[in-house]
Structure 1
Amino acid sequence: MATLLLVDDEPRQVRSLAAIIGRQRPAYRVLEATDAESAWDIIEAEHVDAVLTDIRMPEVDGLTLIERIVRRKPHIKTVLISGYGQFDYAKQAIEHRVVEYLVKPIGLPEIDRMLVKLDELFTAETSLKQSFSVYAEHLWNSLISGSLNDSQRQELESRIPTAGAGIAMVFDPGVGSPEESTQRKMNELLSAMGPSAIFRDTASGSLVSFAWLDRPLAARPSETVSKVVRLFEKLRADGMEDAALGVSTIRADLSRNLKAAYDEAVLALRHRFYAHGEPILWATDVRPFTGTVKPASQELAEPLTLAVKAGDRKRAMELIRSFFQAGETPPYPDPERLKEELNLILWQLTEGLRHRVPPETKELSFAENKSLLAACGDYQELRYRFKKLVDGWLELAGKAHQDKNGILVLQCQAYLQQHYKEEISLESVAAMFHFNPSYFSNLFKSKAGVNFSEYLIDLRIREAKAILDNGEHKIADVSAMVGFRDAAYFNKMFKRKTGISPNAYRQMNGRK
């Protein structure tokens, strides 16, 4: 849909012409102004494709308006309207490359001819843009990636709209790639600042723009800042709350410093990682990232792994807090370098725990955990996510420690079941499994439900009952067969556990 702006100091003439165009071209959007200054305000605020202006107007005439349009908004088509068919006016119209020169009173055939000509120009321009857009995008992407060859450089220079001061901007939509409508809207908004080039960065999906500033704007950085802020707010108004914008410094000769300006804008945008959601990042406010992360991963990985293995959460959190202090004040470490260091720590932690837990344990998926960190969009999220991972490992290590002890107690029980006949003490079994006797006593009771001595007595009495049920051994022999060295003590323990003596038990079961 094309937008036409009608400018005439006679409101009735404007309304009449607008009505005719509206009937003949209902798809066109028609705007109206009654003087050159208000017309220019509209041009600055709106995307205008063509201006139809009367010549004779108070204050600023139509020719002066067209001169300004040609100089500052060269993409706008112009039509000059005059009440006089004078040669001088026609000559100036030709010099300013107006699409049509109309003489009042304007008849329907003249209006129709003018609209047909505009239709053809708009169609040709759209077709040209479409045919060159893919190749142009390729050229711009070659520039920002540093792979532009000499012939491509010459081709790109021919496409640069102007010379002079300007800025580079990199727009990150936040979620997914920007829609084509976003690119179109950004192009429209940038036209208020001066000539521009805008394209999609095929590597990141961001929109990159180079904006050449009008001279008055280039001389007033604060006004440039205000215009950029307004531009960004209009883009965010389309529902892109997570969007961010990186802005370079004003380059005195942007055309000769395109790559440097782009790199500045990218660096500024990447500082959003540390800026806690700041939507606009200015190159004037940031410093280059440091190439190293302090403390380095090797300084953290080993003590953190030991702390996790020991289940020492306090120590683990102290180490993490110390590590992440590096990102609290500039110069900040490069976000990607920081994530690489954390990945090295992840690897050592994963390997350190692998032999303690089942191999299929999902918390030990290095690839999955690495992806979680890679997806972190800012420093706070990265720190939170890493702490959550370590918390998970601490819990895992604690369970593994408990499970390991449980397995050891089961092994002790299996040993007792095979060796209950022998002379066994808590101290001897604790030494066999490398435990402190006191710790082993508490551990055994917590896992088995009874203390070591009671478990051994129960085991021996159970075996004694089986012998008494199936044989005619003397009570003293049975006592020795199940590990009791004192028959009297055997009788005492048997009665305590069963309520009757060994002999009574035998008689009750039909044995003498």
Structure 2
Amino acid sequence: MNILVVDDEEVIRSGIERTISRQFPAHRVLLAANPEEAVELLRAKAVDLVLTDVLMPGMTGLELMAFSRRRQPQVKWVVISAYSEFSYAQEAVRLGARDYLLKPIGKDSLIRLIEELEREVAEESERNKEADLTKRNLRFLREGVFARWASGLDLGGIDLAPFTENHPYFNLVMVRLESDADTRLEHFIVENVLTELMETAGKGFVASIDVRSLLGLVTLREEAGLGLLVDKLRTHLKRYLKTPFQVLSSGRIEHLTAVPEEVRRMRNSPAAQVYDHYASGGEKAIEVAVQYIHSHFGAEISLEKVASIVYLNPVYFSQLFKQKTGTGFKEYVTHLRLSRAMELLRDSELKIGDIAERVGYPDVRHFSQVFRKKAGCTPSEYRQEGAGQEGRELRNSETE
């Protein structure tokens, strides 16, 4: 235990400290010569027991106890008083003091009191641990049951109502992470950020649907606060996460039975195809992707393949590629291939079929169709017209 002794008489402080330290060497004794010092120690240290004089200059022991118990109700108090001050001691007990000691303090009575309080503190600590464990277990049970329900799975007869009885209406907020790497750290960050924001905006809880998806249920104090909550969530996650993510939300829900369908709706909505990203990682990924495309455009190449090379989800990669290059992936590759084909048609004697194969079109008929649609003429016509075609611009249709 950490025991704080508060008394303006040094001889009493040191006498109590000696007795406790000799009899209970495992306990730590803190000393304060006045209530002001005691307040600072109570703020800075985890104190289990306070032994305080009743009458001291400035603040009385009763005032110190009243002031501190509001902030630290778990601390036990014992007051020290002279016989003439006994009425103060009785008042202290009524205010919540565990006991009192009369001056001069007898060693035996002090030792017996510390032994009793030592047992009480240990028992309360054990009860608190059990209560915390029960609370955590109930939280995990609630979140597990809700996550199973939200995923559309059978609850095996479990009644979900008691877990959400404090939420007669609510909104859902879903965060989905997009990464093939281990996302446990990101998962932890999302859970903590979302929980804190929901507690600020109302009340609710966060359930883990799978290793990359979390679902928050929140009852807002103000219905208009959902947009602000989502905006703050995105801002925080962009700052802390190093992986693409999505934030999806629902309208107001008043029946638990609507949750599974609403979760499916959010996952399939157009917004589910839009990803937030972290700028530095995204920039680097697209640089690598462009280098790869320029080196391999003559071979079979696909968005999915290039996305896998830079370790990004294909949908997210497509969105990010267009954002960074100003051009869709398919259009970018087609433009690159046909630009190289025009060079070869102008500057070489290669057959059109060979050129088509070199720029990534093994089917010469398909190559000719794409070329005509983009350049306004066939490869043969382009070659026949020669250098006059050098300034011709490719059209901006996105096809292959």
TM-score (structure 2 length as normaliser): 0.49
Max Rg structure: 1
